[in-house]
Structure 1
């Protein structure tokens, strides 16, 4: 049976009501093109694109946009050599790139959250699932022990921690990607009586500073920052597994992204 790019997109969007002004889209690519193979990734870096080409796939599903902006700003990359080199590689390869972001997060459960919880082996610990966060109750552990556990389960070299790293935690919240800002995290600490929040990233002067002041005042809290990609990659691996089940006749790969930062 012939499977087109549009068939795959329709499946990815099938259980979500249409989203207005979505950032999701196919660019470049022809929706009527037959799919020969699929790769998923968190970020379509130059290295990831080269790996997708080497694998022989012609559809790359990326959670984030390949060109360094959530919503492309007109003129941002005009005349930029990095942009030109990457665009040339994609065009010459014939690789189609579909950004799967908004619909991915609107799934029930959120595909990215589901993948992270699966890797952490905490699916059964979920007490409440909100649109942008998961509330969990885990066996009591110190915050620093949770940090080490997350590093091991996610195979990442480092995490960052703020607040009381030695406090005992049981009630925790998880916010993937760029949801760790104060407007999301601070009300959860208070309203959900959380000991710890695990987030992908957020402005450093918001939630981390709230956690610092709270701990200094004798109201211990802790914040664990995984990194944006590190918090979302498990979800794109999870997506690859689901797509392989849906399309057993197609090769489906997950391409990881090396950490963008190094600790020096």
Structure 2
């Protein structure tokens, strides 16, 4: 996710507690490595060692007051397998347990608010049940939001663009991509096919031509979305989610006053999860002896 709705603090910059507690032991046993005719056991990692490796290999500096903290488990836990995903849902937790993995790296909150404060709603029975489920399966959850967006390039945006086969048009740090002209209808179909999305909402004429695409996966918030629309002047603004009373009304009025700018809403998880899938390719070669897998967070909505 990127930024929040108007008049709220940036979710990327929001202050929670520091993520990185000290740790260091060992992890998983898979197949031993063979070098110079000598068998070496696979390296073992603790949760903390994996986190430290990500920060080191990503050339990242520790982020003070980050929301990227442990939401369950222990930094000293020896890792038996890693799963990346968008949300550590109940279904994801059960799938992770079946894989004999015990470390979830999730992009978004586990307990329904940005800082994962369990007292956001006091005596929340669903929070308590979910905490018990994580404890039962001995699963550690680490949120990976601020750090993954700090990679160069931002791994969420890069993974999404890669999934769309738009890397030839992508420039690190730029949200607007110029693609060969297509109709809005064709562009919608491309998003649906590439990102596995069943239904999309749009504002615009399906037959209008689109070439300049401003792609803002996640939740940037109305001010950032409208700001990019004003600055970049795209043919179509593509967002993960929005406040309908902000960006959608801006697009409606802009079109009423002569603009041809269109809007496509992908859905929050559906717009960013390709980045968490790509992160497996980034992380796996850096770990010896521990399996890194990706599990898709399913769309929670049913269309009637």
> Could you tell me the TM-score, scaled by structure 1's length?
0.93
In structure 2, what is the equivalent of residue 231 of structure 1?
271
In structure 1, what is the equivalent of residue 140 of structure 2?
96
In structure 1, what is the equivalent of residue 150 of structure 2?
106
* Structure 2: segments with no counterpart, 5+ residues: 1-42
- CA-CA distance at 1:119 after TM superposition: 0.4
Alpha-carbon contact 2:225-2:247 (below 8 Å) kept: yes
Pair 1:45-2:86 in alignment: no
Aligned residues: 260
Which entry has the higher C-alpha Rg, 1 or 2? 2
Q: Supply the distance in 2 between the matched residues of 1:118 and 1:75 (Cα, whole angstroms).
A: 38
In structure 1, what is the equivalent of residue 209 of structure 2?
168
Pair 1:7-2:29 in alignment: no
Moved over 3 A (4+): none
Q: Supply the distance in 2 between the matched residues of 1:26 and 1:182 (Cα, whole angstroms).
A: 29
Aligned to 1:43, what secondary structure does the other structure show?
A: coil
In structure 1, what is the equivalent of residue 194 of structure 2?
153
In structure 2, what is the equivalent of residue 129 of structure 1?
173
Which is worse superposed, 165-174 or 120-129? 120-129
Alpha-carbon contact 1:77-1:83 (below 8 Å) kept: no
Alpha-carbon contact 1:111-1:238 (below 8 Å) kept: yes
Q: Supply the distance in 1 between the matched residues of 2:173 and 2:264 (Cα, whole angstroms).
A: 19
Q: Supply the distance in 2 between the matched residues of 1:43 and 1:152 (Cα, whole angstroms).
A: 22
Alpha-carbon contact 1:117-1:123 (below 8 Å) kept: yes
Alpha-carbon contact 1:135-1:172 (below 8 Å) kept: yes
User: Alpha carbons of 1:40 and 1:17: their partners in 2 closer, same or farther (altered >3 Å)?
Assistant: same
- CA-CA distance at 1:30 after TM superposition: 2.0
- CA-CA distance at 1:127 after TM superposition: 4.5
Q: Supply the distance in 1 between the matched residues of 2:288 and 2:44 (Cα, whole angstroms).
A: 13
Aligned to 1:258, what secondary structure does the other structure show?
A: coil
Post-superposition CA distance 1:89-133 (Å, at most 9, x none):
111111111110111111111111111001000011124624xxx
Q: Supply the distance in 1 between the matched residues of 2:62 and 2:131 (Cα, whole angstroms).
A: 29
Q: Supply the distance in 1 between the matched residues of 2:243 and 2:177 (Cα, whole angstroms).
A: 24
User: Alpha carbons of 1:128 and 1:186: their partners in 2 closer, same or farther (altered >3 Å)?
Assistant: farther
In structure 2, what is the equivalent of residue 211 of structure 1?
251
- CA-CA distance at 1:43 after TM superposition: 0.4
2:233 to 188, 193, 203: 193
Aligned to 1:139, what secondary structure does the other structure show?
A: strand
Alpha-carbon contact 1:60-1:98 (below 8 Å) kept: yes
Q: Supply the distance in 2 between the matched residues of 1:189 and 1:45 (Cα, whole angstroms).
A: 33
Post-superposition CA distance 1:238-263 (Å, at most 9, x none):
11222222124212111111101121
More helix by share: 1
In structure 2, what is the equivalent of residue 56 of structure 1?
100
- CA-CA distance at 1:88 after TM superposition: 0.6
Alpha-carbon contact 2:153-2:172 (below 8 Å) kept: no
- CA-CA distance at 1:74 after TM superposition: 6.1
